[in-house]
C-alpha cells in the first residue's frame, strides 16, 4: 500500500490521532502505577519488544514481521493496562498475528515452544496454545482490525539511494531497529523516522547533513523532535537486554501478579460446559 500512506489506517486512525492515543496510554500508565513503577513499565516494554525480535529471529522471520508485531504490541498497551493483560502472552501473540498479516505462517505451538525456550524466571513459562488462540481475538479487536503497518526501512533505503548516501544504509539500519525499542512507531510517521535515522547516521560520521535535510520539504521542527527522541535512546546507559537478572526479576514480578488469574482460568478451562450452553470467554484475564 505504498502508494497511499496518507489514506492508510496507519495514518488516519493512529498517527493523526496521536494525541488521543497518548491520552489513553497515559491513563493506562497511571492505572498500572500501583502495580508497576514507571521504570518497570518502561523496562517491560523494551524487554518485550526485544523478545519479539528474538522470537522472530528464532523462527527465521524477517525483521519486518518483528517490526509489525512490535507495533501491534505497543498499540495494544497504548489502550490496555499491563496489570490486566500479561505482556508475556501479548508479545508472542503479537508475533503470531503479525506473521499471518505479513503472509507468513507461524504455528501457535512453535511460538509458544520458543517463548518457553527463551523464558527466564524461577518458574516455567505459564501459557499454552489455547491462550494464544484466545488472545489472538482480543489483540485483533484492540487493534480495530488495522493490520497493515508502514515501516521506515524501505523509505530509508529509497532516500539514501536518491541522495547517493549508499554508505549510510548500513549505518542507519540499526538505528531503525533501535527505534522499535521506543514508542517512535506510535508517535511519528515512518518516512520522518527514516530521514531522522539517516541524519543521525551521517552526523555520527561527521557528515554535513543540514543541506540535505533542508531540501526534503518537511517540518524541520518535527524532524528535530524525532532526532532528539531517537538520540535519547542512546543517552540512557542502561541498555536493556533480553536476558539477565533484570529480565528474570520482571518475569517473576509478572508471574506473582498474574499467577492467580492464570490458575483460575485454567480451572475454568478444565470444567468447560458443553458448547450448547454458550460459555462465556474460556479465559477471563481481562476483567
Partner 1 sequence: MFFNRKQRISEKYAPVGKIGEGTYGLVYKARNIQNQSGNSEAESFVAVKKFKSFKSGDGISPTAIREIKLLRELKNPYIVDLVDVMLDEADKALYLVFDYAEHDLLEMIRCHHNRSAPHAMPMHTVKSLLWQILHGINYLHKNWIIHRDLKPSNILVTGLDKPPNERGCVKIADFGLARLFQSPLRPLTDVDAVVVTIWYRAPELLLGAKHYTKAIDLWAIGCIFAELVTSKPLFQGQEKERKGDDRNPFQSDQIDKIFRILGKPSVERWPGVIDLPHWSQAQTWQNYPCILHDRVRGLAKGSSGYDLLTKLLEYDPDKRITAEDALKHPFFTEEPRPTHIAFVDPNIDPYKSRPVTPLDPKKDIGWAMSATTSGTNGQTPMTRPMPQSAPLFSSAPPPFKRTRINDR
Residues lying near partner 1 in the complex (CB under 8 A) are found at 1-4, 7-9, 62, 64-65, 96-97, 100-105, 107-108, 132-134, 136-137, 140-141, 144-148, 154, 275-276, 278-281
Residue 83's nearest CA partner among 261, 233, 229 is 261
Tell me the C-alpha distance between 271 and 266, whole Å.
Answer: 9
| CA-derived radius of gyration, the chain | 20
Minimum separation from the CB atom of position 240 to partner 1 (A): 28
DSSP 232: H
Q: Tell me whether residue 107 or residue 232 sits nearer to partner 1 (CB atom).
A: 107
Residue 193's nearest CA partner among 168, 172, 211, 210 is 172
Q: Tell me whether residue 271 or residue 280 sits nearer to partner 1 (CB atom).
A: 280
Minimum separation from the CB atom of position 9 to partner 1 (A): 5
Residue 111: Cβ-neighbour burial (10 angstroms; 0-12, 13-18, 19+): buried
Q: Tell me whether residue 65 or residue 185 sits nearer to partner 1 (CB atom).
A: 65
Q: Tell me whether residue 47 or residue 94 sits nearer to partner 1 (CB atom).
A: 94
Minimum separation from the CB atom of position 168 to partner 1 (A): 21
Tell me the C-alpha distance between 215 and 163, whole Å.
Answer: 11
Round to the nearest angstrom and report the end-to-end CA distance of the chain.
Answer: 37
Minimum separation from the CB atom of position 39 to partner 1 (A): 31
Q: Tell me whether residue 107 or residue 220 sits nearer to partner 1 (CB atom).
A: 107
Please answer whether residues 287 and 138 qualify as being in contact, where contact means their C-beta atoms are separated by less than 8 angstroms: no
Minimum separation from the CB atom of position 255 to partner 1 (A): 25
Amino acid at each position: 500500500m505504498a502508494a497511499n500512506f496518507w489514506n492508510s489506517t496507519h495514518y488516519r486512525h493512529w498517527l493523526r490521532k496521536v494525541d488521543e492515543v497518548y491520552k489513553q496510554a497515559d491513563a493506562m500508565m497511571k492505572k498500572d502505577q500501583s502495580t508497576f513503577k514507571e521504570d518497570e513499565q518502561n523496562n517491560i516494554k523494551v524487554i518485550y519488544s526485544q523478545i519479539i525480535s528474538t522470537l522472530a529471529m528464532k523462527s527465521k522471520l524477517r525483521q519486518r514481521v518483528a517490526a509489525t508485531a512490535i507495533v501491534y504490541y505497543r498499540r495494544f498497551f497504548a489502550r490496555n493496562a499491563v496489570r490486566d493483560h500479561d505482556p508475556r502472552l501479548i508479545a508472542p501473540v503479537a508475533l503470531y498475528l503479525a506473521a499471518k498479516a505479513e503472509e507468513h505462517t507461524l504455528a501457535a505451538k512453535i511460538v509458544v515452544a520458543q517463548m518457553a525456550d527463551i523464558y527466564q524466571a524461577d518458574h516455567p513459562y505459564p501459557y499454552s496454545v489455547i491462550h494464544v488462540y484466545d488472545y489472538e481475538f482480543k489483540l485483533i479487536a484492540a487493534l480495530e482490525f488495522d493490520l497493515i503497518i508502514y515501516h521506515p526501512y524501505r523509505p530509508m533505503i529509497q532516500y539514501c539511494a536518491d541522495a547517493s548516501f549508499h554508505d549510510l544504509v548500513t549505518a542507519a539500519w540499526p538505528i531503525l531497529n533501535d527505534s522499535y525499542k521506543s514508542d517512535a512507531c506510535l508517535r511519528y510517521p515512518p518516512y520522518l523516522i527514516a530521514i531522522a535515522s539517516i541524519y543521525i547516521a551521517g552526523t555520527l560520521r561527521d557528515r554535513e547533513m543540514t543541506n540535505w535535510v533542508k531540501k526534503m520539504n518537511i517540518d524541520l521542527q518535527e524532524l528535530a523532535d524525532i532526532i532528539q527522541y531517537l538520540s535519547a535512546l542512546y543517552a540512557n546507559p542502561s541498555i536493556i537486554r533480553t536476558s539477565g537478572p533484570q529480565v528474570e526479576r520482571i518475569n517473576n514480578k509478572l508471574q506473582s501478579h498474574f499467577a492467580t488469574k492464570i490458575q483460575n482460568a485454567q480451572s475454568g478451562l478444565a470444567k468447560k460446559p458443553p458448547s450448547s450452553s454458550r460459555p462465556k470467554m474460556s479465559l477471563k484475564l481481562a476483567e
